[in-house]
Amino acid sequence: MVLLAVAVSITANALYQQRCSCVTGPPDYLCPTAQLLQVYIPHEVYCTRYYKCTDGRAIEFQCPYGRYFDPLTNSCSCNFTLCYRPDPCIQFVDSCRCCLQQFVNTGLEPQNFYICYNDGYAVAQTCPVAVDPCTNTTEQLVFVNGKCEVAPPTCEHSGFDAGYATCQENVTVTVDFRLPKTRMPAETERRHDNETKNDTAAAAGLRHS
């Protein structure tokens, strides 16, 4: 029984050592390019550390001794239960094999994505919520082109007949997609005028006859 337990442990360790993340370094992909937004990220391993986004990069910070990072308040707290975290959600994603892709968010909500492992598995991740200090509001970031960013503006088309689309992102902008009226060449206009005069004269002659 002891030998079996040891064998299982060795096998599990071997599998763990073979599984490597396709993304290395700090989680810069969680940081938006918008510099005014404030974003705090829990450390992936230590509950006494956290990241703060600065210029699109995740900079690591350490809480004071005896304190732990609280992602709800974005501050260090003395509540040690913050170290208890749920197990990560790991699923098999075929496009992650051999790190063909680093991230996958096909078929997921805009704020959700997978971080690939080299063995074809991936861990689920959600973009953080950003704080706008100017308006004192929060905004859920979405995953766009391999990075968590501010959600792009949404456009509502009013129909092809009207030719208008309204894009909304705090400010409403109306764009006219209709083709501008084009002026006919001078030669074509003269020919068109002559044909109109001839048709008018012919019609007048028919009335007199």
Of 119, 166, 131, residue with least CA distance to 36 = 131
147 part of a folded domain: yes
128 part of a folded domain: yes
What is the number of domains present in the chain?
A: 1
162 part of a folded domain: no
pLDDT digit string (tens) for the chain, length 209 residues: 434 433 434 344 444 457 899 999 999 999 999 989 999 999 999 999 999 999 999 999 999 999 999 999 999 999 999 999 999 999 999 999 999 999 999 889 999 999 999 999 999 999 999 999 999 999 999 999 999 999 988 766 555 454 554 555 544 344 444 444 545 555 555 555 555 555 555 555 545 55
129 part of a folded domain: yes
197 part of a folded domain: no
What domain range is 78 assigned to?
A: 21-156
pLDDT of 199:
58
Which three-class secondary structure state does DSSP give residue 121?
strand
Compute CA distances 125 → 68, 88, 157, whole Å. 21, 9, 33
54 part of a folded domain: yes
170 part of a folded domain: no
Which three-class secondary structure state does DSSP give residue 24?
coil
14 part of a folded domain: no
What is the pTM (predicted TM-score) of this model? 0.66
Sign of the alpha-carbon dihedral angle for 148, 150, 151, 153: negative
